[in-house]
Structure 1
Amino acid sequence: MPSNVSGPESASSTPTELPLLGAPVRERADAARNRIRVLNAAETLFAEHGVDAVTMDDVATAAGVGKGTLYRRFGDKAGLAMALLDERERELQQRILTGPPPLGPDAPPTDRLAAFIEAYLELLDRQLDLVLLSETATTGARFRTGTHTLWRRHCHHLLETGGAPDPEIAADVLLAALSAEQVRHWLRDRGLSLEALTKSLAGLTRTWAPV
């Protein structure tokens, strides 16, 4: 990663204290291709049938890999589910750090924040059950995940540089609104569309940080 990507050189950059998710383990090309096939197959099956209804045999068949390969790499379905979530969160992190604006650097902080809300809600929409599981496994689990620290520091930085009067509290309020449980309530119980929810939350944060 270029050394100048994450430095806070301007209000639109990403702060240097943004914690990095663990680097992926170096792997052979064939192993990497198998991993991508497995994760893509698992993502499709989980979305179509729900995590509980999908078996490891289903994923192996859809991905075109042997069951032994699947179990050796991921252990069990819980390990596979968490690997999928980790992969998608890592992809979002890289888009924040090195991707094009407005999600990536070199855009006004309010535009970057709106882009983050949109991108994170899209991730949640695809992985809602997995994120919910990771956030509610134990009391307070959401606050102990590395990704919560990552997203909070990113949001705090953008809110602060965007002129929010209390960026600490504003970042916490925003991430509470983006918790999987709250988003599930809005989308599934209240019937809000993803587009409407994204527009509402992005519009709200622009009143907090008008710059």
Structure 2
Amino acid sequence: MSDDEQRGRRSASVHRVGGPLGDLQAPQEGPAAPRRRADAVRNRAQILAAAEQLFGEQDPRTVTMDRIAKAAGVGRATLYRSFPDPSSVAVALLDEHERRLQGRLIYGPPPLGPGAPAAERLAAFYLAMLDLLEHHLPLALGAEVGPDRYATGAYGFWRVHVRTLLIDARSPDPDAAIDVVLSPLAPELYRFQRHELGLSQDRIAASLTGLARRLLAPLPAG
């Protein structure tokens, strides 16, 4: 495993700000502490389940904290103790799906995991990301639209992965190319292609896998 991939592995454990309970503060220890922790876990599960349904049913930009609290059956104070805004709820939901993909990139079989040529790994990464966008586009739009997506831990992980592939393919300037290689995976672009242009996932996938193989084609010897 390369140094870059090892750094990516470490970043998987600090994928986003907050621990497994989001931004909840650790309860004070005492006789009631286990009960408070159990309540926090249950409330968080209710919030995420309700929010995922809301994000899937309507434009993510119209989802409010009031609607999430009502759908989850929790009070506003409970919701705000865990999440400051709807975007942070979407981030927590998307985080679960992205963590699984990160694990496959580090530990999975080739071509998505280590052991395949860089071009084939990039093609497999594109396919995996398209599948994630296809199934969780409302979450991606709610969590990672515009400049905010560049500040997420997930985007940092994708950058490390793509940089490793560019270096393996002997790209002349990998640091300048990383974000260009990732740009076709912007959620806004995928929504435009799928839902405004009406392109199928298969057509987009064929275009991106072809692009990956051209970008990272082995350099001629000599």
**TM-score, normalising length from structure 1?**
0.71
Match of 1:49 among 40, 55, 58: 58
- Structure with the bigger percentage of helix: 2
Number of paired residues?
Answer: 197
Distance 1:172 1:55, change over 3 A: closer
- 1:197 is displaced (CA, Å) by 0.6
TM-score by length of 2: 0.68
Query: CA contact under 8 A between 1:128 and 1:184: conserved in structure 2?
Result: no
List alignment gaps of at least 5 residues for structure 1. 1-6
Determine if the alignment matches structure 1 residue 66 to structure 2 residue 81: no
Q: Does 1:188 align with 2:207?
A: no
Cα deviation for residue 182 of structure 1 reads: 2.6
**Residue of structure 2 in register with 1:3 after alignment:** none
Residue in structure 1 matched with residue 129 of structure 2 by the alignment? 120
Alignment map for 1:70-89 (pairs within 5 Å): 70-89=79-98
Distance in 1, matches of 2:138 and 2:74, equals 28
Deviation of 1:45 after TM superposition, in Å, equals 2.1
Alignment counterpart, residue 16 of structure 1, candidates 3, 6, 30: 6
Deviates more, 1:39-48 or 1:16-25: 16-25
Letter in 2 for 1:146: G
Report the AA paired with residue 78 of structure 1: S
* 1:198 counterpart (189, 205, 209): 205
Q: Give the CA deviation at 1:26.
A: 5.3
1:157 aligns with 2:164: yes
Q: Secondary structure at the match of 1:38?
A: helix
Q: Secondary structure at the match of 1:102?
A: coil
* SS class of match (2:99): helix
Structure 1 residues 124 and 171: CA distance shift in structure 2, 3 A: same
What RMSD over aligned residues (CA atoms) do the two structures have, in Å?
A: 3.3
Larger radius of gyration: 2
Q: Residues 156 and 26 (structure 1 numbering): CA distance in 2 closer, same or farther, change over 3 Å? A: closer
> Where does structure 2 lack aligned partners over 5 or more consecutive residues?
22-36
Please give the secondary structure, in 2, of the residue aligned with 1:103.
Answer: coil
Percentage of matched positions with identical amino acids = 42
Runs of 4+ displaced beyond 6 Å: none
Q: How does 1:142-153 map to 2 (within 5 A)?
A: 142-153=149-160
Are 2:90 and 2:143, in contact at CA under 8 Å, matched by a contact in 1? Answer: no
Amino acid in the other structure paired with 2:190: V
- 2:4 pairs with 1:25: no
1:201 Cα deviation after fit: 0.4
